[in-house]
Structure formats: structure tokens, C-alpha cells
Structure 1
Amino acid sequence: MAQPDDMLDDEHYPAYTMGRAAEITGASQDFLRRLEKANLFIAYRSAGGHRRYSRHQLRLAARAREMVGQGVALEAACRIIILEDQLQEALQQNPNHQRPRQAEAA
């Protein structure tokens, strides 16, 4: 069984309430709900039905807020972030598919 300290070290553990997530990311609570509606992530739910967010989700939300602030449409920002996140995960899982090295490009 996971210990409390292990859960807090887990970037996918839903440790943050909606209010705290909004405060950390600098986004409104409505913006966080819109990110979920745009399928950037699905907020975890507490036993009482309240949204809870992980550090990973907070990073995605902060990136979306930044992009939207630069004029990118919300849906487009979410799609870009999803693709970037999938690419990063794939590169971490398979180091043989890293981007070309500088030496190979020369």
C-alpha cells in the first residue's frame, strides 16, 4: 500500500483542489473546467465529487494558460499540448528514437 509521502512524490497524485490549482496556475476555475471540456485532461474527483488535480495536470494547465494568453485558441492550445506531451512520453519510453544528434546533422 502506498504511503502518504510516496503519493505526494507522485506527479499524477490528485493533491490539489480546484481553488488551489487555479491559484498555482494563475488561471480561473472556469478556465480549468474549460480545459477539461476541451479534453486536455480529466480532473480526478474526490468522494464528494469535487475536482482534484495532479502536478502533471497543473503543468498542462499552466502551459495552456500561457498559450491562450499569447492568442492561441483554447482548443488548438490543448491539441498542441496533448501532442507535445505524447511525444515527450514516447521519447522517454524509447531512447532509440531521440531527435537526431548534432553530429549526425553535420
Structure 2
Amino acid sequence: MSAPEPAEAPDRHDLLTIGRLSERSGLATSALRYYEKLGLIHATRTAGGQRRYTRSTLRRVAFIRAAQRVGLSLEEARAALDRLPEHRAPTGAEWDGVATSWQSRIDEQIAELEHLKAKLGGCIGCGCLSLSRCALYNAGDHAAASGPGARYLLPGAGV
């Protein structure tokens, strides 16, 4: 994790209220407060205690949403954000480092989705969607011996 960079005090006209950030980002204010609680985004406070976000927070929120769209957790998004500057756009090299770190995780996600797609087709074929009763896909419920959960849909479950 890189050391925080010294930041100039932003001009008050460059700061966004939580409502404006919500409007611009498309996220509910409750989601923004949650992101702040997790340390994904940061706000300054006015003398009256109101949150103010720098415009660069819009980029961070877009980044978080992109991470979630590809199946990354908020913790994984935070780890990536910790590697990027908070108050300016990342350089190409900084972004490449994050993108490279995501490659294996995205490949894992793709493999999980392909596995799910292949297995789900067999269950949809009979329409029962009940692995405990399915005479074709799980006769005698032998998958239960392998542990809890959707054993046929879990990657590496070994059923």
C-alpha cells in the first residue's frame, strides 16, 4: 500500500454533497455512507457536520461499481483502491498494476460462471430444481454426503 499523498485543500466549489454524489453516481445515499464506513470513499465535514466529497470520489465509486459488476467483493475493490491515488486519476502504470492483479480473480469468476452454466442446464432440463428429490441428477440424494449447499454447482465440490 502506498503512502497517502499530500493533498491540497479542495476548493469548496469542487466539493459534492452526499445528495449530489448520489445523483451523479446513481447510488443511494445509504450505499455511499456504507462505502465510507468501509473506507472505500472518504468525506470531509463542514462546520455543521455535513459530508463533502471531492469530485474524484465519482471515479472511485465508478471503480467500485465496475469491480462489483465483474464479481469482485467490496474487500477486493478496497484492496485495489488502496493501490491507487485518492485525489487524482491514476497513471497508466498504476492502473495496469491493479488491472493485472484482477486478471486471475476475473478468470476464476469466469470459470465459476461457466461451471454454473453447464450444470444449471441439467437441472433446468427436468424442471424440479430440487437436488434432494431429483431422480436423474441426484438419485438417492447422495450429494448430501459431500456436505451442505448446492454440491453440483459449487466449484471443486467433488461430487
The answer to whether the aligner puts 1:79 opposite 2:79 as a matched pair is: yes
Equivalence map 1:1-106=2 (5 Å): 7=11, 13=14, 15-85=15-85, 88=90
CA distance in 2, matches of 1:69, 1:77: 11
CA deviations on 1:68-99 (whole Å, 9 max, x unpaired) are: 2332111211211221337x47x69xxxxxx9
Whichever structure has more helix as a proportion of its residues is 1
- What one-letter code is carried by the residue in structure 2 that aligns with 1:35? Y
The runs of at least 4 aligned residues of structure 1 exceeding 6 Å deviation read none
TM-score, reference length from structure 2:
0.43
Deviation at 1:41, TM superposition (A): 3.0
Q: Which has the higher contact order (CA 8 A, sep 6+)?
A: 1
Structure 1 unaligned blocks of 5 or more: 1-5, 93-98, 100-106
Number of aligned positions between the proteins? 82
Shift of 1:8: 6.5
Stretches of structure 2 that go unaligned for 5 or more consecutive residues are 1-9, 98-159
Report percent identity of matched pairs: 33
* 8 Å contact from structure 1 (residues 35, 78) kept in 2: no
Query: CA–CA distance in 1 between the matches of 2:65 and 2:73?
Result: 10
The structure number with the bigger radius of gyration is 2
Superposed displacement of residue 20, structure 1? 0.7
Scaled by the length of structure 1, the TM-score of the pair is 0.61
**CA separation of 1:36 and 1:83: change in aligned 2, threshold 3 A:** same
CA RMSD of aligned residues (A): 2.9
